Every structure is written in structure tokens, then in C-alpha cells.
Structure 1
């Protein structure tokens, strides 16, 4: 029975990953910031009838300090770095996001290296890959320019954290296999009320029929597909020292999502706004407003991306297409009264 550590088991992705690993028969240890997180994880997993709960253990550890990280890594063969060290809704200054992000991933990698962990799978972000290529096909060979106009604090922190991680593992004295998974906007079903930040796009769409939204093109992925890629990235020998874009095939726009919800979830029709902000207005606003600059970058970035590396090396096939991932997320928002 392979022994794994998942950092941040209370998160939208982390909890789904813990559940799948247990169902697959792994010995799973997960970190939480507080004791209450352990209670919540257990309650959710019991509610879903997860198998092998006796193989789950917990340890309190926070990415902001060294406490318990060596203990967390003890006897573990694989580590999934999923936890985020900061909550971005409250972050206004770059340094408040970037330093904890860099310190957090380096803390995990150093503890893993000192504990003879075989492989670390880092959950990075598509923002580290695809925000600077303007045409052609975006692949794992691409990197976002940290000076890209409109790059959000969140995306920049993810980019710099991944770059710092690669720099660390490429040192000759480090004996770690390393892989990154770089998801686009994560949708799909939630196990409880805790959803990903990407769900805010859907909440805005369903918040107020008089509200105008930017008609952004999006690449999306089902959380179950991200978990599938992460586990395959751990298990596949040829995955070491590679990056994997996690995305459904193709793309979908906010306007297409609005139409999808109206036609496929007719009871929500009265909540859906299909009023859009003209692109020219976002372009003008970008001169004066940082939020508009972020919107302009999202609007004009290249959305032709390749998920071929995950298919070729990991043998992965998407569970959900764009429409299925979106509708599953919408259903979760309804189920947990989040809209």
C-alpha cells in the first residue's frame, strides 16, 4: 500500500483528491491548519461512503511555519502539494501573496527532500503557463511573463512559486522527482459548500439579471479530471520532471455558459444575466483600473491550449467536457444554496 501525503485536505481539490486516493486503496495522510478541518473532512468522507477510511490520518501543519512538516513527510513515498498559503480575497499587496507562496512550496520541497520522499506533485496553475502567448498553440513549454500587464496577484504568485520550485529541484544536491499539474478554471461537482475560486465566475453570472458581465472566453476543467491527472502524475514513471496542463478539450465563453444554464437548467433562467460589458469598454477601463487590466488580459489571451501531454504520457482521457463541468458546478451551487 503506497503511502501519500496531501497538503490541504480541506480544500475543494484537496478533499476530492483525498477521497479518490482512499477509494483507490492508498494510505493517505493529509495536513490541516486546525483540528476543525479534520472533523469536517471525516464528516464529508463518511457522508459519501468513502472506502478505506481506516487508512486516513491527519497532522496539523501550516505553510507559514516549519512546525510538523518533517513529521508529516515521515514514511511517505509521494507528496501532493495542493494547499495554498494565503486567501486571495483579502490580499491587496503583491508581497503579501508572493512571499508566502514561495516560502510555502520551498518549505514542502525541503521537508520532502530531507525525508527521502520519492516524488512531489505540485498543483500549480495555468496562469504560470498561458498568459503571455498571444497566438499559436499554448503548451507546457510556455511560461507566463511575470511582467505581463494585467497579470493578477494570484496568477503571479503561482507563476513565481512554480519557478522557484523548479529552480530548487534542479539543484544537484536535491534528490526529488518533481511534477507540476497546471489546471485552468476548475469546475465540476463539490463535495460540500467549499468550492473553488473559479465558481465566482458562475456566481456573478447568476447573481443579478441586471448586472453586466464580460464575455470572456474560458478554458475549464472538471475537478475529477484534475484529480485523475494528479494521481496519474504520481504513478507514471515517465511523468517525472514534466508539467501537465489540466483542461477539457476546447473552450467556452461566458455568454455560452449563460445560454447553457438557461437551456439545461431552466429553473435558473430567471437568475441568469446575459448582458455583457462591451470589449471596447474593458479596453478603455484598463488604462485606469487594475481590475479592468486583468479583464483585458483574460479577454485577449490565447485560448488555444493543448492537453495532449496528459493524454500521451499519462494515458488520461477527460471525464467531462466543458458543458458537463460547468453544469456540475452550477448544480453544486444550487445544492449548497450558494446562489
Structure 2
């Protein structure tokens, strides 16, 4: 069993990575920007122990003696040496987040790039065996002309195109990580998930889950016309563990997606079909393409989706399946699990 640091412990993917690591018997460290959030973090992991038996961590979450929490911020050197000291592996899951639309791309790009390099330098100094960086499909599939073939790990997002700051930050942070690893002798692998769904661990969850929540509560009046890949957060966590330990993963990128992409109207159809009356508020109407494009230009909440409107960003996880034996659960089941979990949250 190994000592593993998971950065950004209050994040959605990080939480499930910690559960999977604890369930596998590893000792886990994690970082938070504010130690006042440690009790909430531990409680969210503990609550997962009452979930369905197919959720990793339903036993491991109780192993509090194998989880240590450190204060560290991607914007500062402080705390990283202590957090990574004695670790065998690092899962760098943390990524800068903003509560409002950034005034410039650098507000997101610089912390993402500097934070990734900060973690990699600390890992190398501590003699870590391998770092697994959580990147995103945003570093692969944006800024390209329309295409009929799925995106693969050979593709990179064009940062000179008209893309949102988030996609730009993920792309430049991953490129910086690969450049650093090439000259450092440090082993690196990256996991590039598509839109991540699955059971929530608490009231803080990803934008992808927020779309499901808005469908369920009726706050989404119409479905935007775009298609993207989806993947279960539990399968994303499993891929992180494979990328951490499998020899074949060193020096490789891995797209995490379940099957082919889905149009938002197809996701809505799964909810209505499987949830019945509980999906009564899920919209049935798709927004006309020209209307969606117009709104994406003027509506701040839709601006980050402008590159998606009318597009089908299909991607392939064949590489992870072939090299690592990674498998995913049916995405329709994940969509339902997501909805069930959101509906169970206290109102």
C-alpha cells in the first residue's frame, strides 16, 4: 500500500479519488485552502459509507486514521513540501475556480499553470514515483474545425481560437506539466475526463451535475443544442488509480468517457424515461440553434458554452481500455444515479 497525496480535497473528483484510494487500502493525504473545511470534508466522505455497495469508499471512508489534511493553496509555495513529504504518488486534481466571469484569461490561466508546476516541483523534490494530473477534455477538443471522427489523446485544444478561459487554462496547465516532466525525470500521466456525472458527496458539485439539477428543478427552460461525452465520477476515480500504478500509464494521456457523446436532449430523455413523475419538470423542448448562438454571445452564464453550441464533441476512451483495462458503467445508469443523488439532497 502507498502514501498518496490528492490535491484539492473538497473537489468532486478529488473526493471520489480519496474514497477509491482508502477503499483500496492506501494512506491518503489531501490539501485544502482553508482547514476550517476539514470537518465538512471528512463528514462528506463518511456519509458515502451508507451509499450503495458499488460505490468505492463505502468501507474505506471510515478509515479516518489513513486520511490526513494539509493546508496548501495553488497560488502559494507554502504547505506543499509538508503535504507531499513521504508520498509515493500524487494525484493533482485541484484546479483554480472563480465565482464570477474572469476579467481576463490570465485570472484562470496563471493560477492553473503556476499551481501545476508548484505541485510537480514539490513532488520531484520529495522523490514521488509518479504524478497523475487531472486535465480535461477541454485540453483536447476545443478550437477545432467540425469533424466526424472522435477526438483522441493525440489532439490538443487550439488556445489561439475563441475558447473559454477554463479550457485555455486546462490546456496550458497540462502542456506546462508535460514540458516540466520531460526534463525532470518525474513520471507523469494525465486523465482527461469529459463531462463528469455521478453521485454527489454533498452540496458542492461540478457544473455538469448542475445541468442535471437545473433540468430536474425546472430552472432550465429549454435544452441547449450540443452533444458531449459523459463519464461516471466513480469510473474517473478508478482510472486515476490505474494511471497511478500501471507501468504502461507512464508518459501517457487518457481520455475518460463512457461510450459515445450524447445530445442534451438524449440526457433529458433518459431522465424522463427512468424517473417518471420525478422528472416532470425536465424540459422537452430544444432551443433553436440560432437563438442559442445569439444568447451565448450576450448571456454571461452561457458565454462559456458558446464553443459547444451546435457541436458534437465526441471522444474515444479506447486507449485507456486497451492499455489499462479500464471499463465504464452504462452512462444511462450514471445519469439516473446522478438524479437520484441530487433529489436526495436536503432542500
TM-score, normalised via structure 1 length: 0.92
* Contact 2:72-2:78 within 8 A present in 1 as well: yes
Alignment counterpart, residue 327 of structure 2, candidates 317, 320, 339: 317
Q: In the alignment, which of 127, 152, 160 is matched to residue 139 of structure 1?
A: 152
CA 1:147/1:301 → structure 2, altered by over 3 Å: closer, same or farther?
A: farther
Correspondences of 1:185-224 after superposition (within 5 Å)? 185-208=195-218, 211-224=221-234
Which one of the candidate residues 245, 252, 262 is aligned to 1:235? 245
Q: In structure 1, how many angstroms separate the alpha carbons of the residues matched to 2:78 and 2:202? A: 29
Question: Residue in 1 aligned with 2:9?
Answer: 9
Separation in structure 2 between the aligned mates of residue 39 and residue 203 of structure 1, nearest angstrom: 26
User: Which of 273, 289, 307 is the matching residue for 1:297?
Assistant: 307
Q: Which of residues 182, 189, 194 in structure 2 aligns to 1:170?
A: 182
SS at match of 1:265: helix
- For residues 134 and 90 of structure 1, the distance between their equivalents in structure 2, rounded to whole angstroms, comes to 27
Q: 1:309 to 1:166 in 2, by over 3 A?
A: same
Secondary structure class of the residue paired with 1:213: coil
The count of corresponding residues between Structure 1 and Structure 2 is 334
**Residue 183 of structure 1 contacts residue 247 of structure 1 at CA under 8 Å; is this kept in 2?**
yes
Confirm or deny: 8 A CA contact 1:216 1:254 kept in the other structure: yes
Whether the 8 Å contact between 1:209 and 1:274 is mirrored in structure 2 is no
Q: 1:294 to 1:190 in 2, by over 3 A?
A: closer
The CA distance in 2 between the partners of 1:128 and 1:209, in whole Å, is 30
1:297 counterpart SS class: coil
For 1:292 and 1:82, the matched residues in 2 are separated by 25
Could you say which residue in structure 1 is the equivalent of 2:344?
A: 335
SS at match of 2:78: coil
Task: Note the C-alpha offset of 1:17.
Answer: 0.9
Of the structure 1 ranges 32-41 and 120-129, higher mean CA displacement relative to structure 2 is found in 32-41
- Residue 80 (str. 1) matches residue 75 (str. 2): no
Counterpart among 50, 71, 74 of residue 60 in structure 1: 71
User: Could you tell me how far apart the structure 1 residues matched to 2:295 and 2:180 are?
Assistant: 39
Please, what is the CA RMSD of the aligned residues?
2.0
Pairwise CA distance, 1:230: 0.3
Q: Do the aligned partners of 2:188 and 2:251 also contact (CA within 8 Å) in 1?
A: yes
Partners of 1:137 and 1:35 in 2: CA distance:
42
- Cα distance in 2 for residues equivalent to 1:56 and 1:296: 40
Greater CA drift, 322-331 or 129-138: 129-138
Displacement of 1:19 after TM fit?
Answer: 1.1
Helix, strand or coil at the partner of 1:276: coil
Using the size of structure 2 for normalisation, the TM-score is 0.90
Cα distance in 2 for residues equivalent to 1:75 and 1:227? 22
Whole-Å separation in 1 of the counterparts to 2:203 and 2:299:
32
1:69-148 pair list within 5 angstroms: 69-87=80-98, 89-131=100-142, 132=144, 134-135=146-147, 136-148=149-161
Aligned pair in 2 of structure 1 residues 118, 190: CA closer, same or farther (>3 Å)? same
Cα distance in 1 for partners of 2:293, 2:219 equals 24
Whole-angstrom CA distance in 1 between matches of 2:219 and 2:32: 39
